[in-house]
Amino acid sequence: MARTKKQSFQTPKGTFDILPSEQKYWEKVREVFKNVSMHYGFGRIDTPIFEDADLYEATVGETTDIIERQMYVFKSKGKDTLALRPEGTASIARSYVENGMINLSQPVKLSYIGPMFRYEQPQSGRYRQFHQVGFEILGDQDPVYDAQIINVFLKFCAQLGLKNLNVEVNSIGCKQCRASYRTQLLRYYKPRLRGVCADCKKRAKLNPLRLLDCKEEKCQPIKANAPSLVDNLCKECHDHFKLVLEFLDELAVPYSLNPHMVRGLDYYTKTVFEVFLEDEHLEGGSEKTHKKSKLAIGGGGRFDDLIKMVGGKSTPAVGAALGMERVIGVMKKQGIKVSDHSKPQVFLVQVGDLGKKKCVKLFDELSDAGLHVLESFGRNSLSSQLRIADKFGAKMALIIGQKEAIDGDVIMRDMESGAQENIPIEKIVKTIKERIKK
């Protein structure tokens, strides 16, 4: 019989395990997501993690990085072409149409949280499986909702404790304004195409607006001097954007204009924005200087054409999303304290067979009373169990040995002071609850 070769497995490239020690950060983000959603009237929606691949190709844009390089596409056993969702908004639009949400009172406010998938080179804060939190307002074109989405986004970040945030905003107009702007942009880039990257040469032919989305260093000086889209808006788009900025001023939202921002998805119209963490760091050299760097943690914008793209009626909408991994990384970097709800209130310590039997029953009674209780029933040493209780940060230890089991008592030990007292076992649950309240 052939020997089975020993195998060793690791997480797939670009993925990671969220260990128990990290869960407190994830729970904090989920808690704030739930709180903000409730207070601003967003109803939670969960869509499938895979969809018809055509949904993304029809909405995100054939020349975007997501479609060209990053989508996980596969054939089902029924020969359907499916894709793991690379972003959340297209699925929301599909659900809005499929479930007849147009018949609900408008606007419809939806929020989501969950994993997304993109095949790209993993780096700090960027993974192949990542998680997003998103907020969408569908069914109203009033610019007040553009400002509200931005404000909700910042409220979310503020409740997490994030500091040094700035919003960059722009308007990319509608199809009408972009047509004339595209001509200007191509006229500007044509004599400069030799100096841009290979992707930008391709973008100039297929989707010129994507030229402004390039992140390659060699293209930045050329992009910086390109014509501004804001200067080419039609009257409707100009007036819309002017009101968005006035609402942001009224809300005292800190923002700056970025006339070359377009975002990386084709379905955006009019308002687009990104939220950045501004970080000061020291640069080397004979004289160390402070330099500000920017880290994008999320963004969004208006997508008035998207609902129609997926088979619905023409419906205005606006939304935003942020990456949970990126946000959690910032929380750690800024030293934001997060409560660890995994700390037990009570730790059960047993000595001897009779003490263990009583503790097994008491464990259930404490849990049924809503108390967070831990144990180490596999150990018999009193000192080792107390060390574990201390390691987990338990407030109290309940000790039952042979004598306590026979007498019907429990030794209640305050783990901070070391003070101990004997409590009748039938009164221990009530006593623990009273102590915790105090």
DSSP state of 190: G
- The answer to whether the beta carbons of residues 167 and 254 sit under 8 Å apart is yes
Among residues 90, 10, 96, which one has the least CA distance to residue 50? 90
Among residues 132, 89, 136, 88, which one has the least CA distance to residue 109? 136
- The answer to whether the beta carbons of residues 375 and 348 sit under 8 Å apart is yes
Place of tokens 């800024």: 334
Q: Which helix (H) or strand (E) holds 304?
A: none
Query: What CATH homologous superfamily does 20-174+234-333 map to?
Result: Bira Bifunctional Protein; Domain 2 (3.30.930.10)
Residue 126, C-beta contacts closer than 8 angstroms, at least 6 positions apart: 120, 325, 326
Mean pLDDT, each 10-residue run in order, the chain (438 residues): 72 92 93 95 97 88 65 90 93 97 97 93 82 97 96 94 92 87 88 88 83 85 87 92 96 90 81 84 45 80 93 95 93 88 84 90 90 87 90 90 92 90 92 83
Cross-strand bridge partners of residue 275: 167, 298
Sequential DSSP letters for 47-113: --SEEEHHHHHHHT-TTSHIIIII--EEE-TT--EEEE-S-SHHHHHHHHHHTTGGGSSSSEEEEEE
Cross-strand bridge partners of residue 135: 111, 320
- How far apart are alpha carbons 406 and 330 in whole angstroms? 54
Residue 285: strand, helix, or coil: coil
Residue 125: strand, helix, or coil: coil
DSSP state of 20: G
Residue 7, C-beta contacts closer than 8 angstroms, at least 6 positions apart: none
Structure tokens at 75: 């054939």
Residue 55: strand, helix, or coil: helix
Structure tokens at 56: 């993304």
- pLDDT value of position 67: 62
- The answer to whether the beta carbons of residues 67 and 60 sit under 8 Å apart is yes
pTM for the model stands at: 0.82
Residue 41: strand, helix, or coil: coil
Sequential DSSP letters for 194-224: GGS-HHHHHHHHH-GGGGGG---GGGHHHHH
DSSP state of 70: I
Residue 402 backbone phi and psi in degrees, to 5: -60, -45
- How far apart are alpha carbons 273 and 169 in whole angstroms? 4
Q: Which amino acid is at 246?
A: E
Q: Residue 72 CB: number of other CB atoms within 10 A?
A: 16
Q: Which amino acid is at 245?
A: L
- The answer to whether the beta carbons of residues 160 and 327 sit under 8 Å apart is yes
Structure tokens at 350: 């047993």
* Annotated domain spans of the chain: 20-174+234-333, 346-430
Is the domain defined by 346-430 classed in CATH 3.40.50.800?
yes
Evaluate whether 20-174+234-333 and 346-430 have a shared fold: no
Sequential DSSP letters for 313-366: ----EEEEEEEHHHHHHHHHHTT-----TTS-SEEEEE-HHHHHHHHHHHHHHH
Q: Which helix (H) or strand (E) holds 248?
A: helix 235-250
Q: How far is CA 157 from CA 25, 85, 113, 332, 399, in A?
A: 13, 24, 15, 14, 44
- The answer to whether the beta carbons of residues 303 and 316 sit under 8 Å apart is no
- How far apart are alpha carbons 198 and 60 in whole angstroms? 21
- How far apart are alpha carbons 67 and 58 in whole angstroms? 10
